[in-house]
Amino acid sequence: MKEFSVINTRLPRVDAWSKATGEARYAADLSMPNMLYAVLLQSPLAHAKILNIDTSAAKKIIGVKDIVTYKEAGTIHYGVSPARYDETMFCYDKVRYVGDEIAAVAAVDLETAMEAISLIKVDYEELPYYLNVFDAIKEGAVSIHDDYPNNIGAEVHQEFGNVEEALKECDYVRTDKFVNKKQDGAFLEPQACLAYYDLNGNLTLYSSTQTPHYVQRTVSMVLNIPIGKVRVIKPYVGGGFGPKASANTIELASSLLSMRTGRPIKMIMTREQVFLHSRGRHQFYHELTTGVKKDGTIYALKNTCYLDGGAYSSFGIATVYYAGSLLGAPYKLPHMKYDGYRVYTNKPACGAQRGHGGVAARAAWEQQLDIIAEELGIDPIEFRLKNVREKGEVTCNDFNLSSFGMKECLEAIRDKSDWKNKKGKLPKGKGIGVACGFFVSGAGYPIYRSETFHSTAMIKLSEDGGTVELYTAAAEIGQGSDTVLTMIAAEALGVRYEDVKIYSGSTDYGVDLGAYSSRQTLMSGHAVKQAAEEVKAQVLEVLSKRLNVPVEDIDIKDGFIIFKNQVDFSSIRSYYVKEHRGWAEQPGGDKLTFKEAARIAYLEKGTIVGTGAYKPGELGGKYKGATVGTSPAYGCSAQIVEVTVDMETGKVTVDKMTDAHDCGFAINRTNVEGQMQGSLSMGLGEALFEEVKFDDKGRVINPTFGEYRIPTALDMPNVNTIIIESDEPNGPFGAKEVGEGAIMPTIPAILNAIYDAVGVRLNELPVTSERVYNALKEKERKK
């Protein structure tokens, strides 16, 4: 076991102090002199042609400084994947959902802007609208986007092995259907931004985003500003979970308004607008057919899925792939077939959300595997242990499991939860369930086709030698990347945590694709580690020359220079002291400090800078769609959940959760646990109560935290979190993902526990009291 000074500890977050005191600034906290406020006009109709937009009355309001529609904004199409650029800043031909953006007004204050917005008159011609996948793909349905006449925006057909033949060889085959509901990201901070276009033609956009890099590219493209003149800065961000991983209308509109008015423009979404902009979890309709052998070997899986995508593609083209590609991977499954269809409907667009594309599929299948285990008379944990893959194996769709502690996860939760004495043995109304999870550790390819590095980093030593400045464009959104990257820099360079000062989240600091697909610890971490090693090498080289000691005999640790053999460094010390006469904190003691060494290196060579850059090496898969799902590493997890079901009301209470996650190597143990606990909480919410609901006109009827319920402190039990470390060879210091994979087993573990408690299977989320009650009644009736 290697010895580490900084990583694998529980150091507090670098931003904890400023967040605990209220000093941390988020986008909505920012303001500039002469700033204007802007608001959006959004469609009240789900699907309609725009006949005319009349802004004349609004323009007359005193205090209104500018009004923009598609006429001013142009109609350059953008989106997430270049293959599906189907959005424009403002609607021009028609509106496609209730909330679609039509215009923006900038005024001296919010009230004035809102008054003006209410005076913009839009004439519509209503069109048929579709609030359901199956209505949208019916013969004769009107197309929501002209390029996709049947409203199927993306479809995927993949087969590995031969599923039809394999199913014939199986001893037991079953088919189940499963449906979840549209889930909202429900981050606490609504999107907000502040744009300023200066007289030199430089745009600075502060925004609550997970992906400054992609926002920079989109803004540059849509507003036709050279990319080098667009700077996107991410202040502190109050959570994202996926929906903030692409450019949004307020970022574009505020930038446009600032270009036109020459004044800073601030925009903040209301909570209702957050629900309307959405980009959260899709609704998935899965049908799964699984075949197994008598001995419990999982042999074939056929997966068909329809995704309710909403009005635009957003991340959906990736989502529809993920809903198939991730499913089989944790098990030794030789035959897998997937048919996926992402369908446009007249609802807010869905996108990526924690566990992108894989959460509903995982819930459906892990419940089905539980049913199969019971039919075969095998304990569900033993059944999984028999089938799980191990390190070094390659899945049927060419995922290389370079590290894989699935078995260790299952054994750990089994032992920690006292499974053997509980499964099937708890009193009626109480139950225990298990499930596994799997996720990528960073998307293998950027969203746009490019040979770009996925992460770059730069480390500069301050010229006085005292501070290690780390520059990264990585996006701290609450998950803790600033902390983890600071720790990696400190460890790799050999200095103390507090010696490193991180500057992050600005496109000026380099390229980083951002906080999505659980990529930053692995990818940004690699770049940072490389930059630190480069800086270290430079400092050691100077010392080596100066002291005439071979480089191999010098190291840096905990902020001190370590010599293999006794070295007289007094010449360096007296030089440093002479240089720093009168400065605070003069070095002393019998060890040469890093600060002295870094100062000497500067005096010798000028500013010491090291850089790092990372992109994944050759990844598996030559088939169509292999770019979605292939990753330099894969995380995995297993969970046991214990529930109580009220037999009278059907109410489900989650009493206890035991979760083991293989994150490769924990850079910060507290952060890893925090990601696990937060993931489980989001999973519990989706399992038990979260559902964005619509009326028959396509309006969201619960766009508030009062009506759209996320877990409170009273809903979430304590989690016994177990960290499994499998030492990922492709990760910095062996680290890989934890941020998303941890959510995977939660829903099915809850479903399986409900079955253990009361003997009913539920194939529709959320598992409300009503659904459980009805299932219990149905079961009684059938007796």
- Alpha-carbon 220 to chain mean position: 24
Closer CB to other proteins, 238 or 310, in the complex = 238
Contact between residue 242 and residue 505 where contact means Cβ atoms under 8 Å apart: no
Distance CA 101, CA 106 (A): 15
Q: Cβ neighbours of residue 333 under 8 Å, at least 6 residues apart?
A: 298, 299, 300, 301, 387, 395, 396
Q: Determine how many CB atoms are found less than 10 A away from the CB of residue 169.
A: 12
Nearer to other proteins, 19 or 564 (CB): 19
Q: Which is nearer to other proteins, 408 or 659 (CB)?
A: 659
Q: CB 182 → other proteins: shortest distance, Å? A: 17
Amino acid at 696: D
605: left (phi over 0), alpha (psi -120 to 50) or beta: alpha
Whether the CB-CB separation of 647 and 464 falls below 8 Å is answered with: no
Contact 66, 258 (CB under 8 A): no
For other proteins, which is the closer residue by CB, 480 or 621? 480
What value, to the nearest 5°, has the Cα angle with vertex 246 and ends 240 and 249?
A: 105
Residue with tokens 């043995």: 425
Q: Is the Cβ of residue 631 or residue 671 nearer to other proteins in the bound state?
A: 671
Binding site for other proteins (CB under 8 A): 10, 12-13, 15-26, 28-29, 185-190, 236-239, 241, 270-271, 477-480, 670-671, 673-674, 677-682, 704-706, 710-714, 716, 718-719
398 backbone dihedrals φ, ψ, rounded to 5°: 70, 30
**What is the C-alpha to C-alpha distance for residues 386 and 389, in angstroms, rounded to an integer?**
9
Distances (CA, A) of 474 to 318, 397, 514, 674: 22, 30, 5, 19
Residue 257 C-beta: closest distance to other proteins, Å: 20
Residue 330 beta carbon to other proteins: minimum distance, rounded to whole angstroms: 23
Cβ closest to other proteins, residue 520 vs residue 530: 520
Report how far apart, in Å, the C-alpha atoms of 284 and of each of 258, 308, 371, 749 are.
40, 7, 21, 19
Nearer to other proteins (CB atom), residue 11 or residue 252: 11
Least Cβ distance, residue 684 to other proteins (angstroms)? 8
772 three-class SS = helix
Kindly state the smallest distance separating residue 355's Cβ from other proteins, in Å. Answer: 14
Nearest CB to other proteins, comparing residues 280 and 291: 280
Q: How far is the CB of 187 from other proteins (least distance, A)?
A: 6
Shortest Cβ distance from residue 11 to other proteins (Å)?
Answer: 10
- Residue 274 or 522 with smaller CB distance to other proteins: 274
Q: Identify which of residues 241 and 284 has a Cβ nearer to other proteins in the complex.
A: 241
What is the rounded radius of gyration, in angstroms, for the C-alpha atoms of the chain? Answer: 28
Round to whole Å and give the CA distance between 230 and 666: 36
Q: With respect to other proteins, which residue has the nearer C-beta, 584 or 714?
A: 714
Q: At what angle do helices 669-688 and 359-376 cross, to 10 degrees?
A: 80
Residues 191 and 299 sit within 8 Å (Cβ to Cβ): no
Residue 237 or 457: which CB sits closer to other proteins? 237
Minimum CB separation from other proteins for residue 111, in Å?
A: 9
Q: Residue 20 or residue 537: which is nearer to other proteins going by CB?
A: 20
Q: How far apart are CA 342 and CA 686, in angstroms?
A: 21
- Tell me the C-alpha to C-alpha distance, in Å, between residue 131 and each of 345, 349, 695: 6, 12, 9
**What share of residues in the chain are helix, strand, coil (percent, to 5)?**
30, 25, 45
Q: What are phi and psi of 544, to 5 degrees?
A: -60, -45
Closer residue to other proteins (CB): 381 or 663: 663
To other proteins, the closest distance from the beta carbon of 280 in angstroms equals 12
Nearer to other proteins, 632 or 741 (CB): 741
Least Å distance, CB 266 to other proteins, is 11
- Closest contact distance (angstroms) between CB of 113 and other proteins is 15
State the nearest-atom distance from the C-beta of 650 to other proteins, in Å.
Answer: 22
Q: Closest separation between CB of residue 270 and other proteins, Å?
A: 7
* HSE-up (13 A, CA, CB side) for residue 521: 31
Q: Which of 333, 290, 288, 304 lies closest to 173, judged by CA?
A: 290
List Cβ neighbours of 425 (8 Å cut-off, separation of 6 or more). none
Among left, alpha and beta (phi > 0; psi -120 to 50; other), residue 392 is left
CB of 28 within 8 A of CB of 268?
A: yes
Q: Tokens in use for 671?
A: 């952060």
CB of 243 to other proteins, least distance (A): 11
Minimal distance in Å, beta carbon 480 to other proteins? 7
Smallest separation (angstroms) from other proteins to the CB of 641: 13
- DSSP annotation of 387 reads H
661 Cα distance to chain centroid: 17
Q: Which is nearer to other proteins, 182 or 384 (CB)?
A: 182
Rounded to an integer, what distance in angstroms lies between the CA atom of residue 507 and that of residue 472? 9
Q: Which two tokens stand for residue 702?
A: 């619960």
**Residue in 461, 401, 619, 612 with CA at minimum distance from that of residue 524:** 612
Q: Say which residues have a Cβ less than 8 Å from residue 776's Cβ, sequence separation at least 6.
A: 647, 650, 758, 760
Tell me how far, at minimum, the Cβ of 189 lies from other proteins, in Å.
4
| Closer residue to other proteins in complex, CB, 313/353 | 353
DSSP assignment letter at 734: G
